[in-house]
Amino acid sequence: MTKQTRIGQTDLVVNPIGLGTVAVGGHNVYPNLKEEVGKDLVRAAINHGVNFLDTAFFYGTGRSEELVGEVVKEAGKRHELILATKGGLILVGNDVAMDNSPAFLKQSVEDSLKGCKQIT
């Protein structure tokens, strides 16, 4: 991939094709997914020039972030990759609710970093 795109007004530059990782650990969305197949997908994406990976705590309540972190560490290319996550969703029993309070969003980011701790 030769064309790159700047993300907003940041210094982050990504290839035009990224990878969303809900199917890499999102057992709550795709109950029959195979984690090793998901990890193979992330490996293939990185090996083919994808440098933007999108995940979220809600994808398997952190499992997607953990699996992505494992593959990124294994690839040894953390400095070449842009990782994105999302916050604001909270499980309340069997229901999903929104919580965009600063305290919850801060905790969501900290939890995401813990999930991806394998890459540091």
The answer to whether 59 is a known catalytic residue is: yes
Whether 88 has a pLDDT exceeding 70, the answer reads yes
Domains and CATH numbers, the chain: 5-119 (3.20.20.100)
More confident residue, 15 or 90: 15
Out of 55, 57, 59, 66, pick the active-site residue: 59
pLDDT digits (tens, 9 = 90+) for 60-80: 888 998 999 999 999 999 999
Closest CA to 57 of 29, 77, 31: 29
Whole-prediction pTM value? 0.83
Q: How far apart are CA 112 and CA 33, in angstroms?
A: 21
